[in-house]
Chains A and B, each alone.
Chain A
Amino acid sequence: MTSRHTHTKRIEGLDKNVWVAFTSLAADPSVVNLGQGFPDIPPPSYVKEALAQAASVDKMNQYTRGFGHPSLVKALSQVYGKVYERQIDPLKEILVTVGGYGSLFSTMQGLVEDGDEVIIIEPFFDCYVPMVRMAGAKPVLIPLRLKSGKKTVTSADWFLDPDELSSKFSSKTKAIIINTPTILSGRDELQMIADLCIKHDTLCFTTLPGMWDRTITISSAGKTFSVTGWKLGWSIGPEHLMRHLQTVMQNTIYTCPTPLQEAVAQGLQHNFELMGQPECYFSSLAEELEGKRDRMAAFLQEAGMPPVIPEGGYFMLVDVTPLNQDLSHMVQDEAYDYKFVKWMIKEKKLAAIPVTAFVGEESKKQFEKYIRLCFIKVNAKKLPVANQRKHTALPKVLG
Chain B
Amino acid sequence: MSRQLQARRTAWLEFTQLAADHRAVNLGQGFPDFSPPTFIQEALREALSGGYQMHQYTRVFGHPPLVRILAKFFGRIVGREIDPFEDVLVTAGAYQALFCAFQALIEEGDEVILVEPFFDCYQPMVELAGGKTVHVSLRPSQKVEGSGVPSSGDWVLSPEELASKFNPRTKAIVINTPNNPLGKVYKTEELQVIADLCVRHDVLCISDEVYEWLTYDGNKHVKIASLPGMWERTVTIGSAGKTFSATGWKLGWAISSVHNMKNLKIIHLGSVYQCPTATQEAVARGFEREYELFGTPESYFQQLPAMLHQKREKLASCLGAAGLQPVMPEGGYFMIADISSVKVDLSDQSTEDEPKDFTFVKWLTKEKGLATMPVSTFYSPEHRREFSQYVRFCFVKEDSTLNAAEDILRKWSQTQ
Q: Give the B-binding residues of A (Cβ under 8 A).
A: 1-2, 4-5, 7-11, 14-15, 17, 19-20, 23, 36, 38-43, 48, 51-52, 55-56, 58-64, 98-99, 101-102, 105, 109-111, 113, 127, 130-131, 134-135, 226-232, 243-244, 246-248, 250-260
- Chain A residue numbers with a CB within 8 Å of B260 are 5
Q: Determine the distance from Cα of A321 to Cα of B97 in the docked complex, in whole angstroms.
A: 44
Contact A257 B55 (CB under 8 A): no
Q: Determine the distance from Cα of A43 to Cα of B278 in the docked complex, in whole angstroms.
A: 13
Most buried by B among A11, A14, A56, A102: A11
- Chain B residue numbers with a CB within 8 Å of A7 are 104, 262-263, 266
- Give A9's nearest chain B residue, CB to CB: B107
**Would you call B271 an interface residue if the criterion is a C-beta within 8 Å of the partner chain's C-beta atoms?**
yes
- Chain B residue numbers with a CB within 8 Å of A59 are 33
Q: Determine the distance from Cα of A5 to Cα of B8 in the docked complex, in whole angstroms.
A: 29
Contact A251 B106 (CB under 8 A): no
Q: Determine the distance from Cα of A19 to Cα of B269 in the docked complex, in whole angstroms.
A: 10
**Would you call B19 an interface residue if the criterion is a C-beta within 8 Å of the partner chain's C-beta atoms?**
no
- Give B94's nearest chain A residue, CB to CB: A254
A-B contact pairs, 6 of them (CB 8 A): A4-B202, A5-B204, A7-B262, A61-B249, A101-B272, A229-B54
- Chain B residue numbers with a CB within 8 Å of A253 are 92-93, 95-96, 99, 250, 272
Contact B7 A243 (CB under 8 A): yes
- Chain A residue numbers with a CB within 8 Å of B2 are 109-111, 244, 247-248, 251
Given A5-B105, A248-B2: A257 in contact with B248 (beta carbons within 8 A) = yes
Contact A62 B233 (CB under 8 A): no
Contact A260 B276 (CB under 8 A): yes
- Chain A residue numbers with a CB within 8 Å of B129 are 8
- Chain A residue numbers with a CB within 8 Å of B278 are 51, 229-230
Q: A230-B55, A231-B274 are in contact. List 5 more A-B contacts (CB 8 A).
A: A7-B266, A8-B105, A23-B59, A61-B248, A227-B56
Nearest-neighbour CB distance to chain B for A131, whole angstroms, equals 6
- Give A247's nearest chain B residue, CB to CB: B2
Nearest-neighbour CB distance to chain B for A106, whole angstroms, equals 9
Contact B125 A258 (CB under 8 A): no
- Chain A residue numbers with a CB within 8 Å of B34 are 58
Q: Determine the distance from Cα of A18 to Cα of B403 in the docked complex, in whole angstroms.
A: 55
Contact B269 A17 (CB under 8 A): yes
Contact A55 B44 (CB under 8 A): yes
Q: Determine the distance from Cα of A231 to Cα of B57 in the docked complex, in whole angstroms.
A: 8
**Would you call B323 an interface residue if the criterion is a C-beta within 8 Å of the partner chain's C-beta atoms?**
no
Q: Determine the distance from Cα of A40 to Cα of B53 in the docked complex, in whole angstroms.
A: 7
Nearest-neighbour CB distance to chain B for A212, whole angstroms, equals 21
Contact A105 B247 (CB under 8 A): no
Contact A98 B275 (CB under 8 A): yes
- Give A112's nearest chain B residue, CB to CB: B1
In the complex, chain B residues 165-207 whose Cβ is within 8 Å of any chain A Cβ: 202, 204
- Chain B residue numbers with a CB within 8 Å of A109 are 1-2
Given A58-B35, A259-B249: A40 in contact with B107 (beta carbons within 8 A) = no
- Give A254's nearest chain B residue, CB to CB: B95
Contact B92 A251 (CB under 8 A): no
Given A62-B248, A98-B275, A229-B54: A8 in contact with B103 (beta carbons within 8 A) = yes
Within 8 Å by CB of B8, from A48, A230, A247, A259, lies A247
- Give B271's nearest chain A residue, CB to CB: A105
- Chain A residue numbers with a CB within 8 Å of B291 are none
Contact B56 A39 (CB under 8 A): yes
- Chain A residue numbers with a CB within 8 Å of B107 are 8-9
Q: Determine the distance from Cα of A35 to Cα of B237 in the docked complex, in whole angstroms.
A: 33
Contact B105 A43 (CB under 8 A): no
Q: Give the A-binding residues of B (Cβ under 8 A).
A: 1-3, 5, 7-9, 29, 31-36, 41, 44-45, 48-49, 52-60, 92-93, 95-96, 99, 103-108, 121, 124-125, 128-129, 202, 204, 232-233, 241, 245-251, 259-260, 262-263, 266-267, 269-279
Contact B57 A228 (CB under 8 A): yes
Q: Determine the distance from Cα of A254 to Cα of B31 in the docked complex, in whole angstroms.
A: 14
Q: Determine the distance from Cα of A15 to Cα of B263 in the docked complex, in whole angstroms.
A: 8
Contact A40 B52 (CB under 8 A): yes
Nearest-neighbour CB distance to chain B for A272, whole angstroms, equals 21
Nearest-neighbour CB distance to chain B for A231, whole angstroms, equals 5
- Chain A residue numbers with a CB within 8 Å of B29 are 63
Within 8 Å by CB of A62, from B33, B96, B273, lies B33
Contact B270 A131 (CB under 8 A): yes
Within 8 Å by CB of A11, from B56, B124, B267, B274, lies B267
Contact A252 B99 (CB under 8 A): yes
Q: Determine the distance from Cα of A246 to Cα of B10 in the docked complex, in whole angstroms.
A: 12
Q: Determine the distance from Cα of A153 to Cα of B58 in the docked complex, in whole angstroms.
A: 34
The 6 A-B residue pairs whose C-beta atoms are closest, nearest first, are: A258-B248, A229-B277, A247-B2, A38-B56, A58-B35, A244-B2
Given A62-B33, A250-B7: A36 in contact with B57 (beta carbons within 8 A) = yes
Given A58-B35, A64-B248: A41 in contact with B124 (beta carbons within 8 A) = no
Within 8 Å by CB of B276, from A8, A48, A229, lies A229
Given A52-B45, A55-B45, A254-B93: A1 in contact with B259 (beta carbons within 8 A) = yes
- Chain A residue numbers with a CB within 8 Å of B276 are 229-232, 257, 260
Q: Determine the distance from Cα of A258 to Cα of B3 in the docked complex, in whole angstroms.
A: 29
- Chain B residue numbers with a CB within 8 Å of A111 are 2
Q: Determine the distance from Cα of A247 to Cα of B260 in the docked complex, in whole angstroms.
A: 27
Nearest-neighbour CB distance to chain A for B225, whole angstroms, equals 14
- Give A246's nearest chain B residue, CB to CB: B7
Q: Determine the distance from Cα of A4 to Cα of B201 in the docked complex, in whole angstroms.
A: 11
Nearest-neighbour CB distance to chain B for A327, whole angstroms, equals 28
Nearest-neighbour CB distance to chain A for B94, whole angstroms, equals 10
Contact A250 B99 (CB under 8 A): no
Within 8 Å by CB of A226, from B3, B54, B55, B246, lies B55
Q: Determine the distance from Cα of A1 to Cα of B32 in the docked complex, in whole angstroms.
A: 41
- Chain A residue numbers with a CB within 8 Å of B124 are 251
- Chain B residue numbers with a CB within 8 Å of A98 are 92, 272-273, 275
Nearest-neighbour CB distance to chain A for B364, whole angstroms, equals 22
- Chain B residue numbers with a CB within 8 Å of A52 are 45, 48-49
- Chain A residue numbers with a CB within 8 Å of B44 are 55, 259
- Chain B residue numbers with a CB within 8 Å of A250 are 7-9
Contact A257 B279 (CB under 8 A): yes
- Give B249's nearest chain A residue, CB to CB: A257
Contact B104 A99 (CB under 8 A): no
- Give A55's nearest chain B residue, CB to CB: B44
- Give B251's nearest chain A residue, CB to CB: A257
Nearest-neighbour CB distance to chain A for B350, whole angstroms, equals 27
Q: Determine the distance from Cα of A7 to Cα of B169 in the docked complex, in whole angstroms.
A: 16
Q: Determine the distance from Cα of A134 to Cα of B278 in the docked complex, in whole angstroms.
A: 29
